Amino acid sequence: MNNFEFYSPTCFVFGKDTENKTGEYVKKFGGTKVLIHYGGGSVVRSGLLDRVKASLDANSIAYIELGGAKPNPRSGLVYEGIELCRKEKVDFVLAVGGGSVIDSSKAIAAGTVYDGDFWDFYQGKRIEEALSVGTVLTIAAAGSEGSPDSVITKEEGMIKRGASGDAIRPKFSILNPALTQTLPPFQTAAGITDIMAHLYERYLTNTEEVEVTDRLIEGLLLTMVHEGPRVIEDPNNYEARANIMWAGSMAHNNMCGVGRSQDWNSHNIEHELSALYDCAHGAGLAVTMPAVFTYVMSHNVMRFAKVAVRVWGCQMDFEHPEVTAKAGIEAFRHFLSSIGMPGNFKELGAREEDIPKLVEMLCRGDGRDGTISGFVTLNEKDCTNIYKMMV
């Protein structure tokens, strides 16, 4: 195991009706003037926004609003939010929504107290300072409610990049599984896929002797395999929603990823798809992961065999471990299909003829040197092959 620091000071407030405690927690973490940031009209129509506001009112906390955050959140709205926060002397950004709203909120929080262009952080500069961030989560997926990360798409060139820093880790996150019950099945499934991707990205490691984090990841994957189909079958199953929601947060606060190298190639390869086609990130991952895993499987057959046996219940083929490894990938592919995720470019709305452009953006964008690195290092030819496998 490698040396590491693990610091996850987010206060998770979990369960039914917990959104009514929002004001209490904003106050506890020192917020006095809040920007409520959200996406489309669903949080308005459902009455959630009103309940959050009532809670802020009850705690005598002033607030302003900024709606309009989109899936694959854009830099334009971030600039707008930064200007608004500065003008209105906001000291707390409250995200009410899913990963996109939270990531947009984090970018606003960091940008408001930064002299330069906030995009610097998305080109590798570490975020050291930010307004406080809190969240009221409406979809179990991104794990952004407990992570120090944010992903934003720059409209100029549709470049999708990530930034990081403990300063943007939410001070608190309100997790009410009931809020996710109204999600359409496709979004629920995309969330499930994203959570499983966060686990696989950590599972694919080159660090040896990491049994404890392997076991934690496997435990969370097994939870998803069990609970995922239950919420697809019955969207109102609160208990299944609850198990998925806690798994989603634990999958990405890095408790199960410490002390080991991680992959993230699938995320990088997918980011170009959702940037170009504006598809759901989880849906893009559903198409990407089986292709990537198949392509890199030979790098460590036993690792793929391990997850096949321990998570997917495959029988170990001791003479031909690669058969087991492959069976695990196919079981995952079948699972994704069974919850309604796309399986190829066509179902995703992607086009084969764009592959050269995708590879260019992926391997050469933002000054990259023609490769991406994770579990294995992939060059332009590799990435072309992988995208072709998804067609």
Residues contributing to the site for its own copies (CB under 8 A) = 1-16, 18, 177, 208-213, 215-216, 218-220, 222-223, 226-227, 239-240, 242-244, 246-247, 250, 255, 258-259
Residue with tokens 């794990």: 143
Strand, coil or helix: 65: strand
Half-sphere exposure of 228 (CA within 13 A, CB side): 26
Give the C-alpha separation, 187 to 282, whole Å: 8
CB of 25 to its own copies, least distance (A): 9
Give the C-alpha separation, 136 to 174, whole Å: 5
Give the C-alpha separation, 146 to 362, whole Å: 27
Contact 254, 6 (CB under 8 A): yes
CB of 3 to its own copies, least distance (A): 3
Comparison of 112 and 254: residue with beta carbon closer to its own copies:
254
CB of 92 to its own copies, least distance (A): 18
Comparison of 153 and 188: residue with beta carbon closer to its own copies:
188
CB of 15 to its own copies, least distance (A): 3
Comparison of 227 and 270: residue with beta carbon closer to its own copies:
227
Comparison of 244 and 359: residue with beta carbon closer to its own copies:
244
CB of 186 to its own copies, least distance (A): 23
Comparison of 58 and 212: residue with beta carbon closer to its own copies:
212
Give the C-alpha separation, 214 to 133, whole Å: 31
Distances (CA, A) of 162 to 1, 105, 220: 26, 14, 24
CB of 178 to its own copies, least distance (A): 11
Q: Work out whether strand 159-164 and strand 149-154 pair parallel, antiparallel, or are unpaired.
A: antiparallel
- Give me the helices (H) in 164-210, please: 185-203
Comparison of 9 and 30: residue with beta carbon closer to its own copies:
9
Beta bridge partners of 152: 161
Comparison of 212 and 302: residue with beta carbon closer to its own copies:
212
CB of 45 to its own copies, least distance (A): 25
Contact 139, 180 (CB under 8 A): yes
Contacts for 168 with CB less than 8 Å, ≥ 6 apart: 106, 109, 110, 127, 130, 133, 148, 149, 150
